[in-house]
Structure formats: C-alpha cells, structure tokens
C-alpha cells in the first residue's frame, strides 16, 4: 500500500521536475558568455581595370543614314499619234538599256504617208490659186490706171482682199503639210535620253490612240538616294544648300553607299541638295545623295543598282578639332563613366557624370564632364561605388583592348 502511494506521488512530481530542469537550462544558456570570437573577414582585393588617357584629337564626323534608290529623271513614254504598233526595239523590255535617239516603237506610217500626199496636193492647189489671184489683181490695177478717172480705186476693186485670202490659204496648206510630216515622224517613237525601261505596257500588233502610255522609263546618267537626318545631326554636316540663283551648291559632302544585295558592293556619291520641306511624318530633313553614271563601265565589277533598292549610307560630316572621343562601351546608361584618380598613392574609382554632344554606334563625343589627361575606365563594371580601390593598367593609344572577364563576374552585369 505504501509502495503504490509512492508511485502515484512520483508520477505527479515528474512533470514539475522536467519543467524546472528546462527553466534552469534556459537561464544557464542566456547567462553564459560566448567562448569564441568571430574571425575577422579578409580585406577585399583591388579590382583590376584597364584605363585610357583622355586625349582631345581631331575627329571626322561620320553620319549613318539609309534610303532607297530612285531615278533622278523618270517619265512615261507615250504615243503622240494613233495607229498599230508594227515593230519594237529589242531593248524595249523591262530592264532594257537604250541610248538617246534610239527608235523604241514604230507605229504603222501608211496613213500618215497618205496624209502627207494629200497635204502636199492641197498646198500646190493653194499656190496655183494664189498665182491666179495675183494675176487678176495686176489686171485690175492696169485697167484702173487706163481709165484715168481721177479717183482712188478701192482695195476691193484692186482685189487686195482676194489676194490676201489666197496667201492665207497657201500658208494654211503649208502648215497642214508640216503637221502631216511631223505626225509621220512621230510614228517613230525615239528615246528622249539614255536610260532604261522600268516597265513596258504595249507590244507589237497593239493599236494605240494618241497619248497612250507605252512604258515607264528613267535616265541612267544619275540615280538619287533621299537620306533622312535627325535634327541633332544637322549641325555636324555641311548641308548642300543653294539659293535660288545657284545651280550647284558650294559644298558637296561625300557619301559612301552600301548594300547587302549581291556581293555587298559600295558606291561613291555626293550630297547635291536638300529636300524643300521637313518630312511631316518623321519630322526629319532629307538630303539627296547622287550617284554619277551608276551603270557605266566603271561599275562593271559591282552588282548593278536597282531602282527601289534599300541601301545604307555613311555621310562625311565636319572635321572637329580637340574633340574628346570615347568608346560607347565605357558609357553607362548614356550619362556617366568611371575614371581612376590617385589619392595618397592609391588608385580610387570615381563615377563621373557626362554630357554627350554626338554619338554613333561605336563611340561618342563628350561635351562636358571629362578633362584631358584623366584616366577613363574601359573595363566593363557593374554598380561599383565611388571610392573603390582599383588596380589600373593603362592602355597605350591605338592599342587593342585587353579582354576582361573576371571583373564582370565579380561586379555583376551593368545596365547600360
């Protein structure tokens, strides 16, 4: 009985004992000081960067643009007389070349030959009538003189109006003969200039009326490329502006035209004028580049140009003195760069805000924010704070860049 009582008491006291032991252990842990000190972190290594001394230099602006080839002179070849086409030139096909004065289309001339004969006969008849009328007039003057009436004869009595009418008939008949001969000449439709057929709309056997369109043709002495320019680019190019009394501009910047069609040929061109108005859709000014003799023997080794062909252009801009030019790879978010400064014999990285005056796909001209002699960081960096210690290697001017991959991994990708 006593043993049973002791077991019941032990069961009741056991939870209290466990709780008390937990409280004592917790108190002991919170009161105990740590026995070990944290080890100090090793210092961060200096970042290796490559720099280039900022050196002002003369710089030739090259402006990139694009456009499509178009003819400078293009016209519709039309018939001035009606009739059936009996012959066409072998070159009178789309893409065919022709020279000025070549006979391209022949219209049946027989009706016009008959018209010439008729007009010639009418002229001969009118000339005979004039001779007869002049003879009558002479006879009338003689008879009036013999009469000696003392009064002046009227013009009608002297047959002056009849003679004038006969002369007018001769002039009219002569004009009809000239017109008949001219219409006969127009049955031979000749090329107004040396050119090429863009499209052909008629063929042998077709009957055409006056002013029927026969073909679209264009001259091959020049072709043009309208090139759009941004407003920010206009101040860096000598625009070929001519006043109303000038036939040619005083300046003609050179242009290199390139196309990916065929063998990727290049053509040399020049700016000859600007458009008469700002383009309403793009709000840009177009300048006109002209390629001389694009289909001549000098271009025989190149892929021939095509009307409507898309091309890219590099326009020669102004030559700038003392320009600070830096690569685009050194510019971050278009507004700042990193430079290396010396502080207490230690190379320190500094962020420098800049203002760009001009920029192409490869490099930019800095208007403000950099000075001559400063060491520009060329190595790609991430979001690195100013004051970071670096280990700089200077790149000689004109040397190839040294590849850097470790710093990108250390600092992370940069948002440009």
Where are the domains positioned within the chain? Answer: 47-59+323-411, 65-71+230-320, 76-108+187-220, 114-175
Helix (H, G, I), strand (E, B) or coil at 297: helix
Classify the phi-psi angles of 132: left when phi > 0, otherwise alpha if psi is within -120 to 50, otherwise beta.
Answer: alpha
Contact status, residue 56 vs residue 304, Cβ threshold 8 Å:
no
46, burial (CB in 10 Å: exposed 0-12, middle 13-18, buried 19+): middle
**Who wins on pLDDT, 103 or 412?**
103
Q: Kindly calculate the radius of gyration of the chain based on its CA atoms and give it in whole angstroms.
A: 47
pLDDT digits (tens, 9 = 90+) for 222-231: 999 999 999 8
Q: What is the pLDDT of residue 225?
A: 96
Reported confidence tier of residue 407, pLDDT bands at 50, 70, 90: very low
* Rounded Cα gap, residues 77 and 215, in angstroms: 5
Contact status, residue 384 vs residue 340, Cβ threshold 8 Å:
no
Our CA dihedral for 87, 91, 94, 97, rounded to 10 degrees, sits at -150
Phi, then psi, of 81 in degrees rounded to 5: -135, 165
Q: What is the pLDDT of residue 412?
A: 33
DSSP letter for 335, please. Answer: T
For domain 76-108+187-220, which CATH number applies: 1.20.1050.10, 2.40.50.100, 3.40.50.280, 3.30.390.50? 2.40.50.100
Q: Does domain 47-59+323-411 have CATH number 2.40.420.20?
A: yes
Tokens of 357: 């005056």
Q: What is the pLDDT of residue 14?
A: 63
Q: pTM of the full predicted structure?
A: 0.70
In the numeric block, the tokens 């941004």 are attached to 230
Q: What is the pLDDT of residue 302?
A: 75
Reported confidence tier of residue 73, pLDDT bands at 50, 70, 90: very high
- Count how many Cα atoms sit within 13 Å of the Cα of residue 168 in the half-sphere of its side chain: 6
Q: What is the pLDDT of residue 416?
A: 38
Contact status, residue 57 vs residue 322, Cβ threshold 8 Å:
yes
The helix or strand, by DSSP H or E, that contains position 136, with its residue range, turns out to be helix 110-147
Contact status, residue 328 vs residue 366, Cβ threshold 8 Å:
no
The helix or strand, by DSSP H or E, that contains position 223, with its residue range, turns out to be strand 222-229
CATH code reported for the domain at 65-71+230-320: 2.40.30
Reported confidence tier of residue 406, pLDDT bands at 50, 70, 90: very low
Name residues whose C-beta falls within 8 Å of residue 197's C-beta, 6 or more positions apart in sequence.
91, 92, 93, 94, 95, 96, 98, 215, 216, 217
Tokens of 139: 């006879």
Tokens of 92: 């009178």
Q: What is the pLDDT of residue 70?
A: 95
How many residues in the chain? 416
- Count how many Cα atoms sit within 13 Å of the Cα of residue 243 in the half-sphere of its side chain: 1
């Amino acid at each position: 009985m006593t043993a049973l009582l002791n077991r019941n008491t032990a069961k009741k006291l056991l939870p209290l004992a466990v709780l008390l032991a937990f409280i004592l252990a917790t108190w002991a842990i919170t009161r105990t000081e740590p026995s070990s000190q944290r080890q100090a972190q090793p210092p961060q290594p200096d970042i290796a960067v490559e720099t280039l001394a900022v050196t002002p230099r003369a710089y030739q602006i090259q402006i990139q643009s694009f456009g499509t080839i178009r003819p400078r002179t293009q016209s519709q070849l039309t018939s001035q007389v009606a009739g059936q086409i009996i012959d066409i030139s072998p070159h009178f096909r789309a893409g065919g070349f022709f020279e000025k004065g070549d006979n391209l289309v022949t219209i049946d001339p027989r009706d016009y030959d008959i018209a010439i004969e008729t007009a010639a006969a009418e002229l001969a008849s009118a000339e005979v009538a004039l001779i007869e009328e002049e003879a009558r007039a002479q006879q009338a003057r003689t008879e009036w003189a013999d009469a000696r009436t003392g009064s002046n004869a009227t013009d009608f009595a002297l047959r002056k109006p009849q003679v004038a009418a006969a002369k007018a008939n001769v002039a009219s008949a002569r004009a009809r003969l000239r017109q008949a001969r001219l219409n006969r000449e127009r049955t031979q439709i000749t090329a107004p200039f040396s050119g090429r057929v863009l499209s052909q709309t008629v063929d042998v056997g077709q009957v055409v009326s006056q002013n029927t369109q026969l073909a679209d043709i264009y001259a091959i002495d020049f072709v043009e490329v309208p090139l759009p320019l941004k407003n920010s680019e206009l101040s860096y190019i000598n625009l070929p502006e001519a006043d109303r009394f000038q036939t040619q501009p005083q300046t003609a910047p050179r242009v290199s035209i390139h196309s990916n069609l065929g063998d990727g040929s290049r053509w040399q061109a020049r700016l000859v004028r600007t458009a008469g108005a700002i383009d309403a859709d793009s709000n840009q000014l177009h300048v006109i580049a002209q390629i001389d003799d694009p289909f001549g023997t000098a271009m025989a080794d190149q892929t021939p140009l095509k009307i409507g062909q898309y091309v890219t252009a590099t326009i020669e801009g102004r030559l700038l003195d003392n320009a600070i030019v830096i690569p685009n790879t050194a510019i971050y978010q278009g507004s700042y760069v990193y430079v290396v400064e010396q502080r207490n014999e230690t190379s320190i990285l500094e962020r420098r805000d800049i203002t760009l005056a001009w920029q192409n796909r490869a490099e930019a001209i800095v208007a403000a924010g950099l000075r001559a002699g400063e060491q520009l960081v060329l190595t790609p960096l991430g979001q690195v704070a100013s004051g970071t210690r670096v280990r700089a290697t200077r790149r000689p001017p004109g040397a190839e860049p040294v590849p850097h991959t470790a710093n990108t991994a250390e600092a992370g990708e940069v948002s440009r």
